[in-house]
């Protein structure tokens, strides 16, 4: 395996791992909110959040099956946006843990996706 191909493979798997952790953390909190509130009508927001989180985690988890970098990058961008908004919500609520955790995941996903995207550009130049 050539060095650029190895670097691209590593970039894919690192981006995948970070994005998957981000998606799994997100879906975990959504499911916890549903379990805490039940399926009552007043818990509709938690149910909608869980539905979207489950869809995102499934998209991210199946990305390696097809090994399409662009699919993983779409998932990474979506998770970056989700974690960025979660950071804002945590800050507005004044909750340090709900601010720092999503901020770290947001930045880590953004960096990993950037490295993967740049490795693709380098591969296309060869």
Note whether residue 54 is domain-resident: yes
- The confidence score (pLDDT) of residue 40 equals 66
**Mean pLDDT per segment of 10 residues, for the chain of length 126 residues?**
67 95 93 80 81 92 87 94 94 93 96 89 54
Predicted structure pTM score: 0.84
The total number of structural domains that make up the chain: 1
Whether residue 8 lies inside any domain: the answer is no
In a domain, 12, yes or no: no
Domain extent, residue 37, equals 25-120
Q: What single string gives the DSSP state of each residue in 29-85?
A: HHHHHHHHHTT-GGGHHHHHHHHHHHHHHHHHHHHHHHT-HHHHHHHHHHHHHHHHH
Q: What is the predicted pLDDT for the residue at 83?
A: 95
């Amino acid at each position: 395996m050539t060095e650029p191909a190895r670097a691209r493979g590593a970039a894919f798997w690192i981006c995948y791992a970070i994005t998957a952790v981000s998606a799994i953390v997100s879906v975990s909190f959504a499911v916890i909110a549903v379990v805490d509130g039940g399926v009552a009508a007043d818990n509709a927001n938690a149910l909608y959040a869980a539905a979207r989180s489950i869809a995102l985690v499934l998209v991210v988890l199946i990305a390696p099956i097809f090994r399409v970098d662009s699919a993983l990058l779409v998932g990474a961008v979506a998770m970056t946006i989700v974690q960025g908004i979660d950071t804002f919500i945590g800050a507005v609520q004044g909750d340090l843990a709900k601010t720092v955790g999503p901020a770290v995941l947001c930045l880590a996903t953004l960096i990993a996706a950037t490295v993967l995207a740049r490795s693709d550009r380098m591969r296309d130049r060869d």
